[in-house]
């Protein structure tokens, strides 16, 4: 088993990674349970894997108390959060108890926020079931729901006490979801690890086709990168953690335009957003064109969207004005000086950003299964 420690929130917590870990959940969760433990999940994950988790917990005499919400990003909202909190209260969950988030990033963010709010904060354990959640959302303590004004605009930092990553859970994940999660893997290469981006170019296809070694390498490298950045800037105050938002200013605007529907997955939006961030960096004279082309080429080969034809630049800018990274009314972006050299800036005037987006929105469709989406 690989263990990566995340130093955040005053305490370090372990991220345990190994195929088959789900079946050891009873033994690993026993120190956090008192004969029973609430498990927040969603219907597809619970149908596929709920019995395995319940059996693993049962083997140590722990009763799983499932709270199951509908699958999909549309559940990451106030109403569902309220329902989860009511259920937790009805179950008599106490502040010293732990809640298990068992699902992808949607469940992780929703259950994480419920844990942050319940009785002003109870314990949280993440058992991520998508590639995206295993490489990104289960680690680092960001929790949130989407609201009418935008993506993730209401939330809290609430670190888990334990993260259990079982790559074998990805065996049932549909290919489109794997590819979407892969966008966040590529992100770590683009932030500050050019060698890892090169690894992605060589091994990304193996990872998506289910190769266990490639999968494990991608998860371990991603979790280590995330732990390093979160450890340096837990609450995104120095700018270091904001690097994890590479591609996200655009991505969140695109997701809002898609109405948080399954038409555009978060990871797909991040892929398009990263391609845009690279091209904007080129347009600003910051980054070699060949790097932007290399990134877009790789994402496209992996079945991810890299363009935004048919979108409305003004609408995207309106969403971007709500971004949490903005300060003093200036849009803050993560741009790039080249692969592995991302940085934070508020130096792109809104009018240049608008002109860039207008050109992009008027661009040609670049076809891939995911980029059929036109908003
Ligand atoms: N907190 C963070 O740091 C952070 C980081 C990245 C993304 N996010 C958030 O995560 C969310 C996206 O997460 P996601 O991509 O995991 O989406 P998701 O949680 O909606 O899961 C995607 C789909 O995969 C299905 N699924 C999950 N596990 C499965 C399995 N093992 N087998 C078969 N199907 C399975 C789900 O039913 C769902 O339909 C977004 O809300 C995003 O904002 C948060
Ligand atoms: O952990 C972080 O920090 C990230 O930015 C990771 C992102 O992949 C993730 O999508 C996150 O939820 C975005 O955070 P937000 O603060 O922009 O809502
Ligand atoms: Zn993300």
| Digit-coded pLDDT (tens) for 293-329 | 999 999 999 999 999 999 999 999 999 999 999 999 9
C-alpha 349 – ligand 1 centre gap (Å)? 34
With a cut of 50, say whether residue 263 has pLDDT above it.
yes
Q: Whats the size of the chain, residue-wise? A: 375
Nearest atom within ligand 1 for CA of residue 76: 41
How far lies 314's CA from each of 52, 156, 348, 351, 353, in Å? 48, 29, 16, 10, 10
CA nearest to 316, candidates 268, 267, 254? 254
| Reported ipTM | 0.99
Nearest atom within ligand 2 for CA of residue 248: 17
| Digit-coded pLDDT (tens) for 230-258 | 999 999 999 999 999 999 999 999 999 99
Residue 364's pLDDT band, with cuts at 50, 70 and 90, is low
What is the third-level CATH fold of 2-172?
Rossmann fold (3.40.50)
Structural domain spans, the chain: 2-172, 175-372
Please state, rounded to an integer, the average pLDDT across all residues of the chain: 95
Q: What is the pLDDT of residue 128?
A: 98
Domain 175-372 listed as CATH 1.20.1090.10? yes
Residues belonging to the binding site for NAD(+) are: 129-130, 142, 151
Q: What is the pLDDT of residue 367?
A: 43
| Digit-coded pLDDT (tens) for 185-216 | 999 999 999 999 999 999 999 999 999 999 99
Told to judge if 142 belongs to the known catalytic residues of this protein, a careful annotator would answer yes
Q: What is the pLDDT of residue 372?
A: 37
Q: Could you give the CA distance from residue 40 to residue 97 in angstroms, rounded to a whole number?
A: 13
- Of the ligands numbered here, which is closest to the C-alpha atom of 255? 1
Q: Is 228 exposed, middle or buried (0-12, 13-18, 19+ CB in 10 A)?
A: middle
Element (H, E) at 69: strand 63-69
| Digit-coded pLDDT (tens) for 16-61 | 999 999 999 999 999 999 999 999 999 999 999 999 999 999 999 9
Tokens for 242, please give them.
Answer: 């904001």
Ligand 1, pocket-test mutation among 43, 133, 227, most atoms within 8 A of CB = 133
**Which residues, in sequence order, are CB contacts of 16 under 8 Å at separation 6+?**
1, 2, 3, 28, 162, 163, 164, 165
Told to judge if 248 belongs to the known catalytic residues of this protein, a careful annotator would answer yes
Ligand 1, pocket-test mutation among 6, 81, 109, 184, most atoms within 8 A of CB = 109
Ligand 1, pocket-test mutation among 106, 127, 135, 164, most atoms within 8 A of CB = 106
**Chain centroid to CA 236:** 16
- Which of 76, 87, 98, 142 is labelled catalytic? 142
Q: What is the pLDDT of residue 11?
A: 80
Is-contact 3 164, C-beta < 8 A? no
How much is the average pLDDT of 131-142? Answer: 98
pTM of the model: 0.96
With a cut of 90, say whether residue 125 has pLDDT above it.
yes
Residue 7's pLDDT band, with cuts at 50, 70 and 90, is very high
Q: What is the pLDDT of residue 10?
A: 78
Told to judge if 374 belongs to the known catalytic residues of this protein, a careful annotator would answer no
Told to judge if 315 belongs to the known catalytic residues of this protein, a careful annotator would answer no
**Which residues, in sequence order, are CB contacts of 118 under 8 Å at separation 6+?**
85, 88, 89, 93, 95, 99
Cβ of 44 below 6 Å from ligand 1 = yes
How much is the average pLDDT of 221-230? Answer: 98
């Amino acid at each position: 088993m690989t263990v990566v420690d995340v130093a955040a929130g005053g305490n370090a917590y372990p991220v345990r990674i190994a195929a088959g870990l789900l079946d050891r959940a009873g033994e690993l969760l026993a120190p956090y349970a008192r004969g029973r433990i609430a498990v927040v999940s969603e219907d597809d994950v619970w149908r596929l894997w709920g019995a395995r988790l319940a059996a693993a917990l049962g083997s140590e005499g722990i009763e799983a108390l499932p709270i199951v919400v509908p699958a999909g990003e549309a559940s990451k909202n106030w109403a569902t959060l309220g329902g989860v909190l009511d259920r937790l209260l009805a179950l008599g969950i106490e502040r010293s108890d732990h809640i298990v988030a068992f699902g992808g990033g949607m469940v992780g963010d929703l259950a994480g926020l419920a844990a942050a709010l319940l009785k002003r904060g109870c314990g949280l354990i993440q058992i991520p079931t998508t590639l995206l959640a295993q490489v990104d959302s289960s680690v680092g303590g960001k929790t949130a729901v989407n609201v009418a004004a935008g993506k993730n605009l209401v939330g809290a930092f609430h670190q888990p006490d334990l993260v259990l990553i079982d790559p074998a859970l990805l065996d049932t994940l549909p290919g489109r979801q794997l590819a979407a999660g892969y966008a966040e893997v590529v992100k770590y290469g683009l932030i500050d690890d050019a060698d890892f981006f090169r690894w992605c170019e060589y091994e990304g296809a193996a990872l998506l086709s289910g190769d266990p070694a490639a999968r494990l390498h991608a998860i371990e490298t991603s979790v280590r990168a995330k732990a390093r950045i979160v450890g340096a800037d837990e609450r995104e105050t120095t700018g270091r953690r904001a690097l994890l938002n590479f591609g996200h200013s655009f991505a969140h605007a695109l997701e809002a335009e898609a109405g948080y529907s399954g038409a555009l997955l978060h990871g797909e939006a991040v892929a398009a957003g990263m391609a845009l961030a690279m091209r904007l960096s080129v347009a600003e004279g910051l980054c070699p064109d060949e790097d932007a082309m290399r990134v877009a080429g790789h994402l496209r080969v992996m079945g991810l969207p890299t363009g935004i034809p048919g979108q409305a630049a003004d609408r995207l800018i309106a969403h971007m004005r709500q971004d949490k990274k903005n300060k003093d009314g200036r849009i803050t972006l993560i741009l790039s000086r080249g692969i592995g050299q991302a940085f934070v800036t508020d130096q792109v005037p809104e009018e240049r950003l608008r002109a860039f987006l207008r050109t992009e929105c008027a661009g040609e469709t670049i076809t891939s299964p995911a980029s059929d989406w036109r908003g």
